[in-house]
Amino acid sequence: MKLLLFFFLLHFQNSLSQILLPPNTTGYACNPNQTTPSCQTYAFFTAMGPNQLDLANISDIFSVSRPMIAKPSNLTSVTSPLVPNQPLFIPLTCTCNKANTTTNLSYAKLNYTIKKGDTFYLVSTDLYHNLTTYQSVEIVNPTLVPTNLDIGQEVIFPIFCKCPTQTQLQNQVNYLISYVFQPLDNVSSIASRFGSTTKAIVDANGDNIRPLDTIFVPVSRLPVLTQPTPTSVPLGQRSTERKGKVIGLGIGLGVCGIFLILMGGFWAYRESLWKKRADGKDKYIDRTRSSKRNDQVEVSLMADVSDCLDKYKVYRIEELNEATDSFDERCLIQGSVYKGYMDGKHYAIKKMKWNACEELKILQKVNHGNLVMLEGFCIDSNNANCYLVYEYLENGSLYTRLHESKTERLSWRTRLQIAIDIANGLQYIHEHTRPRVVHKDIKSSNILLDAQMRAKIANFGLAKSGCNAITMHIVGTQGYIAPEYLSDGVVSTKMDVFSFGVVLLELISGREAVDENGKALWVEFYENFNGDVEKHKHKLKGFIDDFLLKESISTDNVMNIMSIAIACLHKDPSKRPSMVDIVYALCKSDDLFTDISQDGFSPRQVIAR
Ligand SMILES: *[C@@H]1O[C@H](CO)[C@@H](O)[C@H](O)[C@H]1NC(C)=O
Ligand SMILES: *[C@@H]1O[C@H](CO)[C@@H](O)[C@H](O)[C@H]1NC(C)=O
Ligand SMILES: *[C@@H]1O[C@H](CO)[C@@H](O)[C@H](O)[C@H]1NC(C)=O
Ligand SMILES: *[C@@H]1O[C@H](CO)[C@@H](O)[C@H](O)[C@H]1NC(C)=O
Ligand SMILES: *[C@@H]1O[C@H](CO)[C@@H](O)[C@H](O)[C@H]1NC(C)=O
Ligand SMILES: *[C@@H]1O[C@H](CO)[C@@H](O)[C@H](O)[C@H]1NC(C)=O
Ligand SMILES: *[C@@H]1O[C@H](CO)[C@@H](O)[C@H](O)[C@H]1NC(C)=O
Ligand SMILES: *[C@@H]1O[C@H](CO)[C@@H](O)[C@H](O)[C@H]1NC(C)=O
Ligand SMILES: *[C@@H]1O[C@H](CO)[C@@H](O)[C@H](O)[C@H]1NC(C)=O
């Protein structure tokens, strides 16, 4: 891209003379006798400015869903942030419309709601990047007074487009891509970029193309855009590499297969259902909106969750109030999580501010038997609150079980099963989501236990998608935070591995991650064993939970698990094993394996919705 820019700069002088001419302003004529009444086409658009680096913002202004842009643009994820100047193809429904008695104009009608500070000119140039002009907006909205616009007013913005004529169709021109001719462009560079020819472009647009004119690039099929590579390793590659290890566990590859198929199916399915869903949206807004509605908030909220609408149940705030006795203290489970009763079932309901709702975006991408399942959500636009409704797990958190409930202690075998469950859940978010998700807050109080004492990871409130980022804002829980994150803010999957190591220590020792003097368990562990359990075998008894000692468990087995914990707690993140290796090592632990097979346990099946 930089190289290209450099080239453009070299040829800048050639184009200077053209800049002085005013662009074509009122729109592009069409003749309904020559073209189809309406067609599907695309506009080329580049992400610019801080407000457009989120695909949701762009899909918002063009009234399409994010996957509808992601698919033709060759984007691998609808949620990852865009980079400046990232190229996109925006789908448009192009029609030929009567402008006055003598002229018909060709454009895609987009509804836009006027916000504070908007003018026809600014919206056309800044938001739509000159894919329309204010003169054309005035023609299309004859009843509006451009100098007197109300906030909240609906305006049609005519995005310039053209449908191929019968002749063009016969010549294999299936699309005329709308493209705003940039001051540094020339026709031949456009032709090669889009896989068209100089002649075809000149035939379609004339030879007097001026900068900031919208031109129509004739192509037989949409060119494939080369997108900047995401930071994570491509999924396919990783899966094959790990295949041998994962397959024995009966988990993993199936997950990503199902995931990809679902995603693929989703796109195809969504396009056909788009209309239907738009109706659903309106219904949903009606149910939740107050008399004093705020259009902007709702529109952006809906863009954020638009992908969840057909996946999760949308609850009404009244339902949740009834379920939790208006969020009464007595229903409080912990933090801001309430227990609610709806339709004959218990649910855990988490209340948060909308801007903290990152969790919903992460959860819509993950689905695994060892992650707490999201059932639905609710957005209360009156106070911009967001509620997530999860499955309710009967046996509470691992923390409570280990450290607070002195009567019902967990057996060694249950503890190992819990360790494997957590490891499986982490392996899934680390290996099978794109971009990878780092939980960032693995600790015993975020591990929940169901009726069968199987463990599920909860609370993705701090989770981050994308890897190897550096953050300035340190979050997490003392005693579990990896040293490199604390000192340098490095976010990677290896920080979850570290925290998992601490949870293993808790399971083995029955002690809390931080003792009453504020000393971290892992520090104490380090001091005692100095990275080598074998050598300090005699200290083992003092470290193991007294309750387990009564169970006559095999020392070898405990040592095995201890050495996994040691590996997880390595100070150098690159030396820590990956979750895949950990799952493998845990399951290989001999005792466990026989125990499991006797009981007919098997690694958790994936719950596919
Ligand atoms: C726009 O510019 C082209 C090329 O100069 C010209 O043929 C056309 O008439 C202009 N106006 C419209 C409404 O298309
Ligand atoms: C404009 O479109 C109408 C039908 O929508 C057609 O009858 C009329 O001839 C068109 N006028 C021009 C100038 O293309
Ligand atoms: C379109 O076709 C109709 C009848 O076939 C004709 O009356 C009209 O003039 C044509 N319009 C244009 C713009 O060619
Ligand atoms: C675009 O997204 C940012 C946050 O990513 C938000 O602050 C901004 O208001 C959005 N702009 C529009 C026009 O939706
Ligand atoms: C009709 O619209 C076209 C383009 O918007 C404009 O050039 C033309 O002057 C208009 N004609 C009349 C009679 O208003
Ligand atoms: C735009 O608004 C009009 C009238 O309010 C409506 O009929 C049309 O369906 C809307 N279009 C889109 C794409 O939302
Ligand atoms: C659109 O055109 C105006 C001038 O007409 C220019 O100032 C602005 O930068 C252009 N916008 C984009 C995104 O290129
Ligand atoms: C168009 O630009 C490309 C580089 O972007 C350059 O190689 C080519 O010579 C230019 N062509 C003309 C006719 O200016
Ligand atoms: C999509 O983009 C990637 C990354 O730029 C590229 O390697 C690939 O060839 C592109 N095309 C398709 C069809 O995926």
Within this chain, do residues 388 and 419 fall inside the same structural domain, yes or no? no
> Domain ends where: 363, 392, 421?
392
Q: Which of 39, 49, 158, 180 minimizes the C-alpha distance to 105?
A: 158
**Position 466 confidence tier, pLDDT thresholds 50, 70, 90:** low
Whether 111 is in the pocket of ligand 6, judged by its Cβ within 6 Å, is: yes
Three-state secondary structure call for residue 358? helix
- Least confident among 354-358, 481-485, 507-511: 354-358
Domain of 82, in residue numbers:
17-219
* Per-residue pLDDT, 64: 87
Within this chain, do residues 212 and 308 fall inside the same structural domain, yes or no? no
Within this chain, do residues 272 and 412 fall inside the same structural domain, yes or no? no
- Give the whole-number percent of the chain exceeding pLDDT 70: 77
* Cα angle: 162, vertex 4, 67; to 5 degrees: 50
Would 247 be classed as within a structural domain?
no
For β-strands 313-314 and 374-380, DSSP reports them as parallel
**Position 236 confidence tier, pLDDT thresholds 50, 70, 90:** very low
pLDDT of 308 above 80? no
Within this chain, do residues 377 and 406 fall inside the same structural domain, yes or no? no
Q: Ligand 5: which residues within 6 Å by Cβ?
A: 26-27, 99-103, 139
Distance between Cα 567 and ligand 9 center (Å)? 37
* Per-residue pLDDT, 112: 93
Distance between Cα 103 and ligand 5 center (Å)? 6
Summarize the confidence of residues 333-339 as an average pLDDT: 86
Within this chain, do residues 315 and 458 fall inside the same structural domain, yes or no? no
Question: Residues with catalytic annotation?
Answer: 441
Whether 102 is in the pocket of ligand 3, judged by its Cβ within 6 Å, is: no
Which of 251-260, 463-472, 581-590 has the highest average model confidence (pLDDT)? 581-590
Within this chain, do residues 292 and 200 fall inside the same structural domain, yes or no? no
Whether 29 is in the pocket of ligand 1, judged by its Cβ within 6 Å, is: yes
Whether 98 is in the pocket of ligand 2, judged by its Cβ within 6 Å, is: yes
Tens of pLDDT, residue by residue over 420-461, are 999 999 998 898 887 788 888 899 999 999 999 999 999 887
Would 253 be classed as within a structural domain?
no
Q: Is 242 in contact with 88 (CB distance < 8 Å)?
A: no
* Per-residue pLDDT, 181: 93
Distance between Cα 177 and ligand 7 center (Å)? 19
Tens of pLDDT, residue by residue over 1-33, are 443 333 333 333 333 322 333 346 788 888 888
Residues with Cβ within 8 Å of 104's Cβ and at least 6 positions away in sequence, in order, are 29, 30, 31, 32, 96, 97, 98
Would 134 be classed as within a structural domain?
yes
Tens of pLDDT, residue by residue over 273-283, are 343 333 333 33
Helix (H) or strand (E) holding 404: none
Within this chain, do residues 388 and 406 fall inside the same structural domain, yes or no? no
* Count of structural domains, the chain: 3
pLDDT of 593 above 70? no
**Position 359 confidence tier, pLDDT thresholds 50, 70, 90:** confident
Three-state secondary structure call for residue 133? coil
**Position 230 confidence tier, pLDDT thresholds 50, 70, 90:** low
In 29-153, DSSP assigns E strands to 38-46, 87-98, 104-113
Which of 304-318, 430-444, 526-540 has the highest average model confidence (pLDDT)? 430-444
Would 353 be classed as within a structural domain?
yes
* Per-residue pLDDT, 549: 85
**Position 253 confidence tier, pLDDT thresholds 50, 70, 90:** very low
For ligand 2, atom 4: residue with the closest CA: 32
Identify which of 96, 103, 139, 141 to mutate to test ligand 5's pocket (most ligand atoms within 8 A of the CB): 103
Ligand nearest to the CA of 12: 8
Within this chain, do residues 532 and 576 fall inside the same structural domain, yes or no? yes
HEC per residue, 143-199: CCCCCCCCCCCEEEEEEECCCCEHHHHHCCCCEEEEEECCCCCCHHHHHHHHCCCHH
Summarize the confidence of residues 56-76 as an average pLDDT: 88
pLDDT of 287 above 60? no
For ligand 6, atom 3: residue with the closest CA: 111
Instruction: Report the C-alpha gap between 513 and 519 in whole angstroms.
Output: 8
Instruction: Report the C-alpha gap between 497 and 440 in whole angstroms.
Output: 10
Distance between Cα 86 and ligand 8 center (Å)? 22
